[in-house]
Structure 1
Amino acid sequence: MKLADVIAVLEAAYPPKTAEKWDAVGLVCGDPAEEVTKVLVCVDPTRSTVDEAVAAGAQLLVTHHPLLLRGVNGVPADDPKGALVHKLIRNGIALYCAHTNADSALNGVSDALAKAIGLTVTGPLDATPRPPMDVLSTYLPVGDAERALKAMTDAGAGRVGDYAEAAWLTRGVGQFRPLDGATPAIGEVGELTRHEETRVEAVLPRHRRAAVVAAMRAAHPYEEPGFAVHEIADLPGDTGLGRIGELPEAEPLRVFTQRVADALPPTVQGVRAAGDPERLVKRVAVCGGAGDSLLANATRAGVDAYVTADLRHHPASEHVESGGPALVDVAHWASEWPWCEQAAEILRGAFGGTVDVLVSTRRTDPWTVGATSRTGGHA
């Protein structure tokens, strides 16, 4: 397979257009025309994981976190990040990053975290709105309906998910009285005209409104077509940050916290929880990576516990004091590591064994030493 083939699969699963505007995703280095027989997937592009890719003989390193998130003027070999770019290129290894696009995607980072914990996902925690849509309806002589509908669908109407040319057609009786100055296609000036018409109704992306209306007008036989455009209310989509899910049975927070610890790779930080240890937990929100910006979402969702990383003292304390769901805080790296296997499975499924896909075994969590007080002192 070519690198371009692998990128196409990754971008179908994690569309780059869904990444945050500040993010840096996609191909960092590598030739899309080069062959790929082995891929390594990891969370962080670090010296350790680059060394692992070299040792494994991989031609592609897929990471969650970007290497060059902020703009740079160069990548000299005596710069830590520049040194990684040089090492990758010298060893014929491409680097591809899927960051916030993998966070928001259906079957993304938080789905992998939820699956690891044993949750059945019911939807996103912070849903991305569905694309704005309109409904256009118009009325035509029966014999002209098909031609007008084709013009509308050619202009972008009638697409619903995986279905094209979707429309509602129904027959009825229309009436009108042409006034002085009119040149009616049917009927006479001054006379009330009634005849059979077909009502054609179709949805369309709001950004295609002008094009679809223009196409309808051009195909319509009436001098003054009757039509209406209605905006569909904004609805939440099935993608977005975080996920909400349920456990098979409720369990105390202390048991649930251990469940989370057992599901994730060990780190120096471990797993800690805030809340009544005996509080029953069944409905759970999760967010891979730093998720304290979604504390209010978790409260509004009415979950029993919220699992995420990088929780800060004051927001966590205020959240618990205000009666929000219990909090389970894990290491950032550990919360996103389950995604690696998910991404690997997507590639394995796409290429049927023709590409060897490995998941990194290197722990890139930055914390290496942990300690607890032996003095019994009090703050």
Structure 2
Amino acid sequence: MPTVQEFFEILQHITPEHLAEDWDNVGLLVGNPRQQVHRILVALDPTCSLIDEAARRRYDLILTHHPIIFRPLKALHTDTPIGRFLAEAIQNNIGVIACHTNFDSVPDGVSGYLARILGLRVVRPLVPSRSDCSENCGLGQVGEYAVPISAEDFVARIDQVLEPPWLLEAGPRPARVGRVAVCGGSCSDFAEVAKRQGVDAFLTAEVKHSVARWAEDAGLWVLDGGHFATENPAMDLLRDRLQQEAGRRGWVLTIDVARQQPPLRLAERGSQQGRA
């Protein structure tokens, strides 16, 4: 069986750590690099329910997209969600690795996969990486349809492949959608960059109010599919890539993806009469 460190080294082939943004916190965040690994659980978010599942089902290693430790910790209180997660990981000898903006930045990462499942042919990164990369690395992707489709068909594709709990839009709908920018997660600050690249639509998440107003005046169709929905599909891709790399090395590992649900949902609202 490989060690945590040996497993981490195959991650460097898939999602090189040097591609992470300067403000990010990636890599091995909890655990012993020399510990052997048999069972790995991949997930978008490091939640308390995730660490409970990992302990119950005896996983040795958790690999999440979002890091459990993002800002420096001045204290570790185990009655808080982060403290409980970290304490349970240590108590159960579960390593924790974060693979965040480095997985965003590789061509076949979060945004590249998002473009692919929407049927787009990827052209280039939306925001090229400043780090050394032999491929077209960067945040977001700009892709094209061989034959432009209607705005309604584009919305239908989003609904089909992402199943978002909501889909918000700002700015005018174009008559046809040929070139599209996508950026999984919170990327609305890149809207002007997308506009300059001549896209017909920009799909991302957590669109700011000011960006939505800007889109109205700038004439760019901006869509907000939710942070979870635009990123979570790539967890299956990451699992598949890890299994391929493990197989090449003759490692027999169990690598599963946790089936998480979006943390945000549409609120149930009663009738006007019921609220009177």
Query: For the structure 1 residues 305 and 29, does the alpha-carbon distance in structure 2 shift closer, same or farther, using more than 3 Å as the test?
Result: same
Q: How does 1:252-331 map to 2 (within 5 A)?
A: 252-267=150-165, 270-277=166-173, 279-324=175-220, 326-331=221-226
Measure, in 2, the Cα distance between the counterparts of 1:78 and 1:313. 35
User: 1:354 aligns to what SS in structure 2?
Assistant: coil
1:333 aligns with 2:231: no
Question: How far is 1:120 from its partner?
Answer: 1.5
TM-score for both structures, normalised by structure 1: 0.66
Deviation of 1:350 after TM superposition, in Å, equals 0.7
Counterpart residue identity of residue 72, structure 1? L
Q: Which aligned pairs between 1:135-284 and structure 2 lie closer than 5 A?
A: 238-267=136-165, 270-277=166-173, 279-284=175-180
Question: In the alignment, residue 96 of structure 2 is paired with which amino acid?
Answer: L
Counterparts in 2 of 1:51 and 1:279: CA distance versus 1, 3 Å: farther
On the 8 A contact 1:75/1:82 being kept in 2, the answer is yes
Task: After TM superposition, list the pairs within 5 Å mapping 1:45-60 onto structure 2.
Answer: 45-60=46-61
Stretches of structure 2 that go unaligned for 5 or more consecutive residues are none
Q: Aligned equivalents of 1:11 and 1:29: distance in 2?
A: 18
Post-superposition shift, 1:34? 1.3
- RMSD value, Cα: 2.1
Does 2:11 correspond to 1:18?
A: no
C-alpha displacement of 1:279: 2.1
Inter-CA distance 283–56: structure 2 relative to 1 (3 Å threshold): farther
Matches within 5 A, 1:84-99: 84-99=85-100
SS at match of 1:54: helix
- Measured against aligned partners, the alpha-carbon deviations of 1:134-184 in whole angstroms (never above 9, x if no partner) come to xxxxxxxxxxxxxxxxxxxxxxxxxx96xxxxxxxxxxxxxxxxxxxxxxx
Distance in 2 between residues matched to 1:301 and 1:316, nearest whole Å:
18
Asked if 1:125 corresponds to 2:23, the answer is: no
CA contact (8 A) 1:254 1:278 kept: no
Within 1, Cα distance between the matches of 2:260 and 2:20? 26
| AA in 2 matched with 1:92 | N
Q: Secondary structure at the match of 1:307?
A: strand
Residue in structure 1 matched with residue 33 of structure 2 by the alignment: 32
1:293 is aligned with what amino acid? Answer: D
Q: 1:51 to 1:247 in 2, by over 3 A?
A: farther
What stretches of structure 1 move > 4 A for 4+ residues in a row? 275-278, 371-375
CA distance in structure 2 between the aligned counterparts of 1:366 and 1:280, rounded to whole angstroms: 33
SS at match of 1:65: coil
- Please give the alpha-carbon distance, in whole angstroms, between the structure 2 residues aligned to 1:117 and 1:372: 32
Going from structure 1 to structure 2, the CA distance change for 1:310 and 1:373 (only over 3 Å counts) comes to farther
Following the alignment from structure 2 to structure 1, what is the Cα–Cα distance between the partners of residues 50 and 159?
Answer: 24
What number of residue pairs does the alignment pair up? 268
Distance change (3 Å), C-alpha of 1:85 and 1:369: same
Q: Deviations over 1:233-264 (max 9, x none)?
A: xxxx6111100112243222122112112111
Change in CA separation of 1:372 and 1:311 when aligned onto 2, cut-off 3 Å: farther
Which residue of the partner structure matches residue 347 of structure 1?
A: 242
Change (3 A) 1:64 1:315: same
In the alignment, the residues of structure 2 paired with residue 30 and residue 351 of structure 1 have an alpha-carbon distance, to the nearest angstrom, of 20
* TM score, norm. by length of structure 2: 0.89
Change (3 A) 1:371 1:257: farther
CA contact (8 A) 1:257 1:328 kept: no
Alignment of 1:349-364 (within 5 A): 349-352=244-247, 354-363=252-261
Structure 1 position 35, deviation (Å): 1.4
1:80 to partner: Cα distance: 2.1
Segments of 5+ residues of structure 1 without an aligned counterpart are: 132-159, 162-236
Contact 1:116–1:338 (Cα < 8 Å) also in 2: no
Q: Percent identity?
A: 32
Q: Tell whether the 8 Å contact from 2:20 to 2:26 is kept in structure 1 after alignment.
A: yes
Which one has the largest radius of gyration?
A: 1
